[in-house]
Amino acid sequence: MAQMSHLKFARRALAGMAVLTIALMGLLFGANQFSNGSYAPKLGLDLEGGTQIILEPRVTGGKQVSAQQIAQARDIIVQRVDAGGVAGAEVTTQGGRNIVVSMPGTPDKRTEDAIRRSSQLQFRPVLAIAAGSPQAQPSASPSPSGSASPSPSGSAVPVPSPSASVPAASPAPSATNNSALPSAFTTEASPSPSPSASAGTSASPRPSASPSPSASASGGTATDPLSLEQITPELTAAFTALDCSKEDALANLVDDDTKPLVTCDADGAAKYILGPVVVSGDKISDASAGYQVGQNGQQTSTVEIQLALNGEGAKQYADISRKMVPLQQPQNQLAATLDSRVIVAPSFNEAIPNGKASITGGFGITEARDLAQQLKFGALPISFDLQTREQISPTLGSEQLRYGFYAGLVGLLLVTIYSLLQYRVLGFVTIASILAAGVLTYLAITILGWSHNYRLDMAGVTGLIVAIGFTADSFIVYFERIRDELREGRSLESAVATGWDRAKRTILIADGVNFLAAIVLYVLASSSVRGFAFTLGLTTLLDILIVFLFTHPLVTLLARRKFFRGGHPMSGLDPDKLGAVKKTSYAGRGRFTTNPPRVAAPEGSRS
């Protein structure tokens, strides 16, 4: 019965391998018919060429760019590029000032923007809000100090005069009841937020009483980020003159973390006076994007970016949220600015002690993932403008690829010759296994090129050539274990089963070491070395798949054939040539018999 179960498993394994191969072929066919896939693997920068963009630092206010800032920006750009997949891009500096990014193929605008965008996320308290474009001016209303202070752009939110110690008496509309303002930012107190824990989307009405002086924007000092005394005549004038509907409205903006900021929101529908930064973007320890989960645990269609702050950032966020809870709007709103523009400005219903935040604001899932990736790796210390963009030729080209292809064929030929000389007909199992591994590797690399922009460079080709030796080594370990069992006097079917039990542990350990080496190289290296590490890891996993689902099942089925079971001299499994030990056993009545090792049950019988 055990023999039949082995045969049943072997047939199922081979069928599963066939199904997997057909499924990958179908996926590749579909990628070509219904998407932008290709039947050939994508090639890397050294084999195909690509695009080179030179980024020039943007300098404002006479500031100088330091070598440290350039080096830091380069490191961040390298992380952003590497996070996009194993595409073989190169990032270098030029003249100690510019950054040169070389990428294979022709990157789209979204990819370029993701590389050079600063992505500086900051949290600033809101001091005043108005419509982004000029509106009909309402009649002036007296300010608390007795002087007229007209709303700069017709908004219902008045801007207090510099000497004001109390907010305007008329209630300011919140982001939730002003259609011109974003209102989809949520700060979570727990992984599954409840309506009472959300900030901004469902703010509860505020009492008309003035807030506590100790936490109030009206009762603080000029050094208090919540204080309205920060609104100087210069800020008021800049706020009044700002027209967010113009494309260059913020062209000359200078963003100082320690000073108030006059800025627009992302779509120019509203403008803000913001206090100094209370939580900086470098306090973000992790960022991820996905679909928001509702209160009932069901996934919704709303895309969100989840942020986690480190210990210092969580404490700062908790402190500012406690101070802002009792304030009236808009002074109880905390704006999140990305590259100096407000993306969301929620109001607080309660303090947020755990440093968890969730941003939603009409993002697409691709845009949210790009932004989360940039926030995770940190903001560039300076902003960059695109200086030049040009096509570059391959550094190696098709000739080197052809040489690599020839080297692979020579290696495969040598392995084939060795297998046939050492294992006779059994060597064809090695050849068939290597061909199966080659087909799966080609399909995997081509599909990854379509789905994850994987590009095969010369280092990757080297990894594929090296993998031929690793794959052949696994088969040799297995075949030699079978031969050892035949030498001990076992029948072929028993030798195949016992030899596999012993060989698979050795194969798994060897491939495990190779895979760990590939992981270490991939994590610690960059550019072309990562390409080698990736192909090494991929072919190692495919080697395990081939040995378990193709080679062993195929040998199990061949062991039932008379050619192999009978120990034909050309089978490579002849016990006599292997020097098998003949066993002598007691046959009864004083007689002893010597059983030749090649004796086995007739084909089709059960054991």
| 501-538 pLDDT per residue, tens | 999 999 999 999 999 999 999 888 766 688 889 999 99
Which residues of the chain fall short of a pLDDT of 70? 1-4, 60-63, 82-87, 135-222, 361-362, 378, 396-398, 526-528, 581-607
CA nearest 394: which of 42, 56, 84?
Answer: 42
Q: Which fold has domain 2-24+36-42+397-565?
A: Multidrug efflux transporter AcrB transmembrane fold (1.20.1640)
**Strands in 310-394 per DSSP E:** 334-338, 341-344, 356-359, 384-392
Where in the chain is CATH 1.20.1640.10? 2-24+36-42+397-565
Partners of residue 398 on adjacent β-strands: none
Q: Are 155 and 135 in contact (CB under 8 A)?
A: yes
Where in the chain is CATH 3.30.70.3400? 50-113+387-392
Cα separation, 58 vs 52, in Å, equals 19
Q: Are 359 and 200 in contact (CB under 8 A)?
A: no
Cα separation, 40 vs 460, in Å, equals 15
Cα separation, 472 vs 577, in Å, equals 23
Q: What is the pLDDT of residue 136?
A: 54
Partners of residue 287 on adjacent β-strands: 307
| 274-299 pLDDT per residue, tens | 999 998 888 888 888 888 888 887 88
Angle subtended by helix axes 427-452 and 458-487, to nearest 10:
150
Neighbours of 521 (CB within 10 A): 17
Q: What is the pLDDT of residue 192?
A: 31
Neighbours of 486 (CB within 10 A): 27
Q: What is the pLDDT of residue 85?
A: 56
Q: What is the pLDDT of residue 185?
A: 33
Identify whether 142 is preceded by a cis peptide bond (ω within 30 of 0). Answer: no
Q: What is the pLDDT of residue 193?
A: 33
Three-class SS of residue 224?
coil
Where in the chain is CATH 3.30.1360.200? 119-379
Q: What is the pLDDT of residue 189?
A: 31
The correct answer on CATH 3.30.1360.200 for the domain covering 119-379 is yes
Q: Which fold has domain 50-113+387-392?
A: Alpha-Beta Plaits (3.30.70)
